[in-house]
């Protein structure tokens, strides 16, 4: 009987590969947030040369920042609680969204409960806006990572088609920012700290610590895959 000798090459599983510079941690990402200063940027869609009271009031009812080409983050409610803003929430202000060329809306807080934004695809049915709703709660224990690739693909599709995407939650600080950061990591091959700095330069953001841990974990996964 013929005997064959097989040689086996020992391979270290991807999840055990040593990362240059060590593992990304939540503290690394907190440091990126704390050490990055947000620059002043004019509100998209408004002419700074127009000096009219009504025009200025309209701007006070909008919360929106372009944080990456064709990618905007905003809120689902206005910054002010004055009566003239009551019906002009940013995510619900279809006139404004269309004015700045928004073709896609990602609601990272879809729902009717407190802390959620009650919109869905039906809300935008009288426009050509494509909608994605994610029912994410802004809690430390929330598994937002299950939505990372879904959100990243939606944002990528918007930009690749020449459109613009408005990503929002309630305040445009934690859930929506985390989705955009994940997009920059997955689709633009940014390190987590660089993605955070990119968004932070254009908008005051603050993903909760549970979300930062999950972004750190994603960063380590992506870094190993790209080794």
Pairwise CA distance, residues 43 & 66, whole Å: 9
Chain mean position to CA 151: 8
Nearest to 70 by CA among 147, 195, 180, 208: 180
Enter the DSSP assignment of 79: S
Indicate if 64 belongs to the active site.
Answer: no
Tokens standing for residue 219: 């960063």
Pairwise CA distance, residues 188 & 153, whole Å: 11
Distances (CA, A) of 42 to 49, 97, 202: 11, 16, 10
Candidates 61, 159, 169, 179; catalytic one: 169
Catalytic residues: 169
């Amino acid at each position: 009987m013929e005997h064959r000798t097989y040689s086996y090459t020992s391979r270290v599983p991807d999840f055990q590969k040593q990362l240059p510079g060590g593992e990304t941690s939540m503290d690394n990402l907190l440091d990126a947030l704390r050490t990055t200063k947000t620059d002043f940027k004019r509100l998209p869609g408004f002419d700074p040369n127009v000096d009219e009271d009504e025009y200025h009031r309209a701007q006070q009812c909008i919360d929106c920042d372009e944080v990456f080409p064709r990618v905007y983050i905003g809120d689902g409610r206005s910054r002010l609680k004055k009566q003239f803003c009551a019906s002009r929430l940013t995510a619900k202000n279809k006139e404004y969204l269309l004015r700045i060329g928004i073709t896609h809306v990602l609601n990272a807080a879809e729902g009717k409960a407190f802390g959620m934004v009650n919109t869905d695809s039906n809300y935008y049915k009288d426009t050509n806006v494509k909608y994605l709703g994610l029912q994410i709660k802004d809690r430390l224990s929330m598994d937002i990572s299950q939505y990372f690739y879904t959100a990243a693909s939606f944002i990528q599709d918007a930009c690749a088609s020449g459109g613009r995407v408005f990503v929002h939650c309630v305040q445009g600080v934690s859930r929506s920012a985390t989705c955009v950061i994940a997009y920059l990591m997955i689709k633009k091959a940014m390190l987590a700290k660089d993605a955070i700095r990119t968004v932070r330069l254009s908008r005051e953001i603050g993903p909760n610590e549970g979300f930062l841990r999950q972004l750190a974990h994603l960063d380590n996964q992506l870094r190993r895959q790209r080794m």
